[in-house]
A and B are shown apart, each in its own frame.
Chain A
Amino acid sequence: MKTYYRSLLGCVAGVTLLAASTGIASAEYMAEHRGGTLRVVAHSAGGTIDPHINYTLQYWEVYQTIYDGLLKFKQAAGADGFTVVPDLAEAIPTPENGGKTLTFKLRKGIKFSDGREVGVKDVVASFQRIFKVSSPTSGTFYAGIVGADKCLKDPKTCTLEGGVVGDEAKGTVTINLVAGDAEIFQKLALPHAVILPADAPAADAGSNPVIGTGPYKITAYDPNKQMKLERNTNFKVWSEDAQPDGYPDVVDYDFSLTDEAQATAIENGEADWMFDQVPTDRLAEVGTKFKDTVHVTPLTAWWYAPMNTNIPPFDNVKARQAVAYALDRNAMVKLFGGPSLAGPVCQVLPPGFPGHEDYCPYTAGGGPKYNGPDMDKAKALMAESGMKGQKVTLITEDTDASKSLGTYIQSVMNDLGFETGVKPISTNLQFTYIQNTKNNVQMSLTQWYQDYPAASDFLYILFGCESFHKDSDSSVNIAGFCDKEINDKMHKALELGVTDQAAANKLWAEIDRAVTDKSPAVALFTPKHIDFTSKRLGNFKFNSQFYFLITQAWVK
């Protein structure tokens, strides 16, 4: 996914699940901190408020406290947040029928914020709605549900017949899959699979909030001004892991503040947290004067520069490798804010990710870790490629960091012998632009953040043959890389994950090396995330899956 605009995914691989039982308290609720108004700020709103459609980190963070699915990622700090726990379902079911059938038993007594009880019909209708509103992941995450193919063809009449079957008497919902899917529980734990009332509009809700079951409800939303969250008086805690109660009575989420204004507001105590990253020119100040309220967290993500393997000059593997050898990751880390904010990498899978084994062929002297660029080797490869003098256009975002990195890449590529131009495009549009194969983008600079912890989420999504679509505006394999041998291995790893995740991860590590060797993209660095909070804000928790747990923080 992208931080702001997540893109489509769809794959089958396994991750370890902790089959957490219901009702296990993860932390004691401290009633003395309950109350007050938490003010959070952002540069802009995140678009539609519809949880089945919105694909932004910004609102996925907010949805955690408003909506619930059958399953949910645990609302806990750190990597514990990767754990899938039962939410509206009583337990995580044991897959039957070769992993193709999942039967969930609904908890009783859970109410929407308007007082109606959540029932089987709401669950069935919600899964149908994913297709009716053409959720961006309907064709990927949920395409494996029986009947999804018909729903994708004709969303308005979607019934998911035979795919999602409710039994009112037993209070169960059975999901039938076309084939076993080792990642189905993570997919069901994402906001696109939250349960809404059966009568929720079968179209994009836009700026009109849809009610949910969490401890808060959206009481006002103006994308140009503010989103207001207030307590859902019908909420009662049923699982501390899945949906703990929040601390503030009200959350005011204000938009239209520049990054600078956001940082200043926090420094002055006028805001409690900023969604956007601290501007680069304020880093030193913030990291010095406000070091106690700055939280730096490593992310399972990477910044990378995809090179279009289907058009010159990067249809030549040596030209791609030359760029990989020439770019100094340490310099790029410096431009990003320094080692405290990023770490250099050479490979696709981020450190600590399933399947990651240190590998760095593109460094001076070789070795598993990055040591610096090898310009001599880069120039030699460049000469062999015969691509000197070729014009290259690099598409970056129009953020300070992206433009700055783009300027550096341009400088190095010009040293190599390319004639490079840099075109910054609005952040809102850049990812859409570069994944549109019709635009024939030669090279771009972008980031990828995990949707959930699975090697396939990086390797198969970004470099699988099935992720590349000719003449499409939704081709997330931006490099257009398709190597049959590697792709076959990916399929093998996906299948293996259903039965033997450890063996699958070994295979993913091998695939990671193979993709890195072909260099369809230059791996640049893994970023760290900065959260800058006010002095009064307490109980800051960073969840590895959905980042800042907004309502778990207190202001009293």
Chain B
Amino acid sequence: MAETVMTGEMQEGGGVKPRASGAQGPWALAFRKLTADRAAMVALAALILIALICIAAPLYASWSHTDPFRSNLDGQVMVDGKLVAALEQSTEGLGLGYTPVGPTWQLGNYFLGADNQGRDVFARLLYAGRNSLLIASGATLFTLIMATIVGASAGFFGGITDAVISRVLDILWAFPIYLLAICLSVVLINQSMKIGPITIDSGSLLLPIFIIGIVYVPYVARPIRGQVLSLRRSEFVLAAIGLGVPSSRILFRDILPNVLPTLIVFIPIMMAIDMLVEAALSFLSIGVQQPDASWGTIIQDGVGLLYTRPWVALSGGIAIALTVLALNVFGDGVRDALDPKAKLRIGAK
């Protein structure tokens, strides 16, 4: 029962075995193990730092008197005590092309330089981080909720329900993930999406959250189904069924709490994956839409400036790499703490 979970110890497969009276609970043990993992803690600190910096984006924009969503083609930047144009015209040769001002390395003053619209890249990078983190979090939450509902239903009810759900998941998972996400984005990006009474505007961040969230449901749902299927045949569940406990109570009080550690292990992993997918979609102009930014759009903005202002693309790339690295390291720590023998990554596409 649920009480058993909270007072037992983690066992292989996410199950729980009773513990001796006075010993630490599984959550406490897991927490202790996690906090003892230095790499995971450094990664967590990095994640918190990145999140805080990104959350402070409006403060930075206000402090540096810049509007990162507005073109600033005639803007000027103070560099070494001199005012220079945010977009400088080439004066040599045939005088072709404009080059945005490069990094000043001064906070509050075009720290990473300007993009081709004369906008402060660093300010946009911070706002982009908010969107990237929000989409990754939202998509992860959406995936986990949907996967839990779908996987638990298939595993618990079995029979035709399981057969139908499993086949649908198999079909969905048979598509290359990126291709599926791109197809959905291309179709949905130019029009609002209606799901019953809910309407999602084409420019809304909810759209990439939904698209990225939905394509990874099979990835999480299939192990959840397997785990629920295993729990469904465990003695304590069979006993509850024998005692006439309603299915809903068994599902919510006995099975789902045992699945929870697996779901928690999935969180950082999924966030990292979702962030990469979001970056890819935004890079292809079918994710976050202008004038909003994500780290993927920052890289896209920088592609046309690679030869002259590589920091525009590099900054977005570095931000993604650091965050995904931190999520992966933290995810490893969480997995080791909660589910030491899981092999979640093996099947990842």
Interface residues of A (CB under 8 A from B): 278-289, 291, 294, 296, 328, 331, 334-335, 337-341, 393, 398, 400, 403-404, 406-408, 410-412, 414-415, 421-424, 530
Contacts and interface: CB of A to CB of B under 8 A. Distances in A.
Interface stretch (B41-49, B85-93, B325-333): B85-93
A294 B96 CA distance: 10
B159 interface: no
A407 B96 contact: no
Interface in B262-280: none
Main secondary structure of the interface of B (DSSP, over half): loop
B217 to A, nearest CB: 27
Nearest to A296: B94
Contacts of A421: 202-203, 289
29 contacts: A279-B304, A281-B304, A281-B307, A283-B90, A283-B96, A284-B96, A287-B92, A287-B97, A291-B94, A331-B71, A331-B73, A334-B87, A335-B116, A338-B95, A338-B96, A339-B95, A340-B96, A341-B96, A341-B97, A398-B285, A400-B303, A403-B285, A404-B117, A407-B71, A408-B117, A411-B71, A414-B70, A423-B289, A530-B96
Given A281-B308, A411-B291, A421-B202, A335 B93 contact: no
A340 B98 CA distance: 11
B305 interface: yes
B307 A285 contact: yes
Interface in B302-322: 303-309
Given A331-B74, A335-B73, A423-B190, A287 B290 contact: no
A412 B71 contact: yes
A387 B304 CA distance: 35
B290 A280 contact: no
Nearest to A285: B307
B301 to A, nearest CB: 9
Given A337-B98, A408-B73, A421-B289, A284 B117 contact: no
A522 to B, nearest CB: 16
Contacts of A393: 190, 202
Contacts of B144: none
B69 interface: yes
A411 B99 CA distance: 20
B211 interface: no
A417 B290 CA distance: 16
Nearest to B92: A288
Contact of B94 (A281, A294, A406, A424): A294
A410 B95 contact: no
A407 B291 contact: yes
Given A289-B93, A407-B290, 7 more contacts: A280-B304, A331-B73, A334-B98, A337-B98, A338-B98, A408-B71, A410-B290
Interface residues of B, number: 33
B123 interface: no
Given A281-B308, A410-B291, A287 B95 contact: yes
Contact of B306 (A281, A283, A408, A414): A281
A287 B304 CA distance: 16
B290 A422 contact: yes
Given A287-B97, A288-B92, A338-B98, A281 B117 contact: no
Contacts of B74: 331
B189 interface: yes
A155 B92 CA distance: 57
A411 B115 CA distance: 14
Contacts of B290: 403, 406-407, 410, 422
Given A289-B93, A334-B98, A284 B291 contact: no
A281 B100 CA distance: 10
A325 B236 CA distance: 75
B303 to A, nearest CB: 8
Contact of A281 (B69, B95, B189, B305): B305
A282 B285 CA distance: 22
A191 to B, nearest CB: 31
A340 B95 contact: yes
Nearest to B302: A281
A280 B303 CA distance: 10
10 interchain residue pairs of minimum CB distance: A283-B97, A287-B96, A288-B93, A287-B94, A284-B90, A411-B71, A283-B96, A291-B93, A331-B73, A400-B304
A415 B73 CA distance: 14
Interface string B165-201: 0000000000000000000000001100000000000
Interface in B75-123: 87, 89-90, 92-99, 116-117
A262 to B, nearest CB: 14
A512 to B, nearest CB: 28
Contacts of B73: 328, 331, 334-335, 408
Contacts of A423: 189-190, 202, 289
B285 A337 contact: no
Contacts of A530: 96
